[in-house]
Structure 1
Amino acid sequence: MLVTRLDGTVTPVIAEHLEDGLRTAEREHHAACLIEMDTPGGLLQSTREIVQEFLESDAPVILYVTPSRARAVSASAYIAMSAHVAAMAPGTHIGAGTPVTGQGEEAGDTVVADAAAFAVSIAEQRGRNTDFARDMVREGTSVSDREAVRTDVVDPVAPSREALLTELDGRRVAVGPQDSERGVDVTNPWGVKVTLVEVKDVELPEPMRRAMARQAEAERDRRAKVIHAKGEYEAAETPADAADRLEGHPAALHLRILSTMAEISAERNSTLIVPLPMEIFRLVDMLRQPRSPITAEKT
């Protein structure tokens, strides 16, 4: 059994760390990969990468929300629901998966709809409660450990790691892209009863945690700058498209001028408006162009 822990914000570093753990569990033929989690969420893109790894993993993934008062909310709720086995310690909760912007505001309708479809697809693949998956995104629903088990959001509630492994001993789950069946206890075919499980505990050192926090902050800044740049680009592109359309329709341009005059006059200010036909400017341009000299032919 390979054990690792997920604390803090979900970032690309966390996604890489979990991916390495899954590869190790598959390579060394561990019975399962146990991930103990307590996180407030994180980046949606990193969450999608982790969920994809869980859904395609050839090693059973057991996600355990622990210790008591821990949480699997926001992005981590998607991660918990994508595990082969999702377990919770007493006094924990899960949900509140509504996506937010880098400034902490609720994301737009399109992003929320996409996240809701993502959560429902996870629940359908793992046989979990699709109504809860949808509501935790659209309504921000969050439930306790007992309610989560009662409504088929997670599997068991276990007070400790040892109690969880004892309850899961012998359970079979579908793993990998082909959903091939595999047992958490791989010794059953040998006729061997497991009484003791050796656990490898992977703890992140403090310098790596600080580096992950700095990377997450840098990632948020990068995304904010990209969004701002895209907004500036779209703001510049729209007037250019409008100019192209108006150039091909002179009547529409005159209507736009009249509409602008009406908007200015409605403000009741002292602005003096002198409308000039566009033809005058075109005539001025024609007069400013140099004329070719005219020579008379001799006969």
Structure 2
Amino acid sequence: MDDLAGFLRTRRARVDPAAAGIPVNGHRRVAGLRREEVAHLSGVSVDYYVRLEQGRATQPSEQVLDAIARVLGLDDTECGHLHRLARQPRRRAKAPGGRVRPEQLRVLDLVTGAPAMVMNHRLDVLAGNRLAGLLFGRPLPGLNVARHLFLEEGEHGLYADWDTCTHDVVGHLRLAAGNHPDDPRLASLVGELAMGSERFRRLWARADVRARTHGRKSYRHPLVGPLDLHQENFALPDAPGTELLVLSAAPGTPAEDGLRLLAGLGTEAATGPSTDPSAARSVDPSADPAPAGYR
């Protein structure tokens, strides 16, 4: 799903040679830095850098990788991604399971004034409170935020900042692919998105990586209108890559009124009838087998 050569190639193309101290005389046939220029600026031989970019250099030192990261102007997230890609094959991190502990479900039930969800590294919603179901306007079991964003809602749907969201989601999935290269369900999701969305294919080819982080999230809800919310993420220590996300509204804002109005809506109108109340809160996405992935 992810490879060192593609990542380094796209990062090299971003660097302005003049800003890196490389004299630019006439037309250059490639964007950014050449491989030999990265090698020179990093203090390694051209042959070693070529082998590294091709995945043939085993166990490169942290000093070498940090030097390359500095030349390429990588941020902390990209630098960590480079280290993981350069050290494959290695002991692979096991993909987190899809089970949510009963204690975590109780915590979700305690959050009554804001949408709250448990989400894994694939952006599967594993569990959510009633308000989260009302926000998305559908049952939470089976909801994958990336699929919802690219294949179901589209540019004029629920996500007001659709352009930014698409960059963030693809960057997150790229990062997840580096952390879990052997996860067949993640590979299958990437393949599905690539086949179904031209925008996803273009963004995936950029090889950008982004860490999921807190910040502003804006929605266009069909029943209550605009909702400008703040997303706060809480890592779950017993399930690496899985987080509790809470979407809150600032006091006294239209978004707070909107959430209050949303909370007053009937569950039946937003999520449909269910004979099992717990079914709308928790799902185990690892239960279904996945087809071969996209690489």
* TM-score with structure 2 setting the length: 0.25
Bigger CA radius of gyration: 1
Query: Greater relative contact order (Cα 8 A, min sep 6): structure 1 or 2?
Result: 2
Relative to its length, the structure with more helix (as a share) is 1
